[in-house]
Structure 1
Amino acid sequence: MATEADQHDPNGPDPALLRAVRGYLDHLTVERGLAANTLSSYRRDLRRYLGFLTERGRTSLAAVDEPDVTEFLRRLREGDPAHPPLGTNSAGRAVVAVRGLHRFAQREGLTADDPARGVRPPTPPRRLPKAVSLSDIESLLAAVDAEGDPRALRDRALLELLYGTGARISEAVGLDVDDITRLDDSGAVADGDGRPGVSVARFRGKGGKERLVPIGRFARRAVDAYLVRARPALARSGRGTPALFLNARGGRLTRQGAWAVLRAAAERAGLSDVSPHTLRHSFATHLLDGGADVRVVQELLGHASVTTTQVYTLVTVDRLREVYAASHPRANAIERA
């Protein structure tokens, strides 16, 4: 039987490099259980990396240094005669594959050092959250016929609640009837005696963390109308689930079902690219536009860190810039200076 050396292409990667990559891919397959598509992408990325190392005269991973890995990343981003430039995500995946290879080689004793440790994947550009205007929100809500059948009342309540509380779609469909309560001024559950209070929804967010979010007047009216005039009719087909939002069979409305509700309303309103997260983004952006403190918005959204919430302030700064440029008599003169 021919040996690996006999079969080696003199113009291709050195057998030592091939063995190292093969061992790493076997490790990912057997011990890490990576998906077939991910393995295929890693294999393609590492094939390109081996070609790059061969071009630079490297015959083993032990001969690779950090400048080699850095230059490979530059080639990924800028392209070369044989490859077009890669976008941030594709280049980042290739760097992750290379970093994993070198980490594996060091752990297996194939190399003394890890030359890729200090090379970071390219940072993807920050994508600002997408928010829709208040008029588009009103068009979306008006597209649901709240005087229609029980499902229409449910749909209006769902959409009003999503926008009115900034809830994630999983949090909204996870609500039970008892999660909608009214608190008095002391924070205790109101007893229905007519004293002032506020309606709140108890959401269970990521990691099981609970938070209370006030429900505005419009959302509360829509939820009340659904509970009185629609939910009992839907519940008759089910088995007594405590879920707030029910499907046509009387069971808990699923995320996919809620998605379909929003998609249908958006189509009727003539809106495109509207998702449940769009309503969450709009909730946060409209609050900040109205003067809400970013820490308050953080609590309402259930963000663990205010850093996550602060991305919305970039949106409002853009909005302020637009208003200023359109409204101030000397804005254009200042901009040109």
Structure 2
Amino acid sequence: MKKAARDPIVREHVAYLRLRNRRPVTIRSRARLLDALFDYLGKPLLHATEDDLERWQNSLRVTASSLGTYTTHARAFYTWAYERDLTDTNLARALVVPRVPRRQPRPISEKDLSTALLCSTNNPQLRMWLILAAYCGLRAGEVAAINRSDVRIADDGGAFLLVHGKGGNERVVRMPPMVLAELKSFLRSNGPLFRRPSGTPWPADQLSRQVSIFFGSIGMDWTLHCLRHRYAARLVDIGADVRDVQALLGHASLSTTTVYLSQATRHAASSVDLLSNEMKTPTLQTA
């Protein structure tokens, strides 16, 4: 049974988001954020002041990335309220969206990936999440969003997967035959492939958290996203064109993908060292 929003205005805002055909994961994230903000304020969201919202933002003890996400949701809600004359001013206009520094990729090691896959054999659903991230490059939200109709089986034993990516962008990725073989037991019914014990689809954040808990239970500090990093780094290592990698990852900007070239630079270190062996050491000529 769905929990009702704590402030009636949230239901109105959610209806607007659905009318705009926003992604379900975006709607759920927005509603959860607004419920949490309502709890912090202790009064209706439209009764907040700019000072209230600044105090709320300053009270958050999360990463810069999460802070940016929460702030963006709050700004979007209050901009919507202002445009509909529900408030006299745009209350969130003073909220600053933090600049998030680009993080270097942290791909899981091949040894730890093998160990994780072995340790997950008793949990087929979680094991499949690991495989889809490590061998198809999917994000947690993209794994959670897979429906049976998104999997198109090919004649060569593999398949092609329609991925519902960030910002409503879709892409098609190759699913190798070995990955499809692992997935086949999940293709017997229509609808979402991965469901909680209650039968409802996994929310992306909970799916990601389950993977992090699993890694912690086997003494590792990896996340599901580290397996996506591994996918990209391995593609670069074996010579895939960086623009092909960009398309497979669903990156809007090529500059986001080129961070994986640093992995190729590391692997090429021995070749660079060999090249320098050709350098002749100058010697002093004696008269």
The normalised TM-score by structure 1 is 0.51
- 1:197 deviates by 6.1
Partner of 1:204: 164
Partner of 1:309: 257
The higher radius of gyration belongs to 1
The percent identity for this pair of structures is 28
Of 285, 288, 294 in structure 1, the residue corresponding to residue 236 of structure 2 is 288
- 1:160 deviates by 0.8
Structure 1 gap ranges (5+): 1-28, 42-88, 90-122, 184-194, 233-240
Q: How many Å separate the matches in 2 of 1:302 and 1:163?
A: 15
Q: How many Å separate the matches in 2 of 1:155 and 1:265?
A: 9
Describe the SS at the equivalent of 1:127.
coil
Partner of 2:173: 213
- 1:300 deviates by 0.3
- 1:126 deviates by 5.0
Q: How many Å separate the matches in 2 of 1:141 and 1:314?
A: 26
Structure 2 gap ranges (5+): 1-47, 65-98, 281-287
Relative to structure 2, which stretch is displaced further, 300-309 or 127-136?
A: 127-136
The normalised TM-score by structure 2 is 0.59
Q: How many Å separate the matches in 1 of 2:236 and 2:51?
A: 44
Partner of 1:261: 210
Provide the aligned length of Structure 1 versus Structure 2.
197
Q: How many Å separate the matches in 1 of 2:207 and 2:214?
A: 11
RMSD: 3.2
Of 110, 119, 139 in structure 2, the residue corresponding to residue 134 of structure 1 is 110
CA-to-aligned-CA distance 1:95-115 (integer Å, 9 cap, x gap): xxxxxxxxxxxxxxxxxxxxx
Q: How many Å separate the matches in 1 of 2:130 and 2:260?
A: 21
Q: How many Å separate the matches in 2 of 1:253 and 1:295?
A: 31
| Matching residue's letter, 1:174 | A
- 1:259 deviates by 2.2
- 1:170 deviates by 0.6
Q: How many Å separate the matches in 2 of 1:251 and 1:283?
A: 29
Relative to structure 2, which stretch is displaced further, 309-318 or 218-227?
A: 218-227
Q: CA separation of 1:181/1:32 partners in 2, compared to 1, >3 Å: closer, same or farther?
A: farther
Q: How many Å separate the matches in 1 of 2:244 and 2:162?
A: 16
Q: How many Å separate the matches in 1 of 2:116 and 2:58?
A: 42
CA-to-aligned-CA distance 1:66-99 (integer Å, 9 cap, x gap): xxxxxxxxxxxxxxxxxxxxxxx8xxxxxxxxxx
Q: CA separation of 1:255/1:39 partners in 2, compared to 1, >3 Å: closer, same or farther?
A: closer
The reply on whether 1:162 has 2:122 as its aligned counterpart is: no
Describe the SS at the equivalent of 2:53.
coil
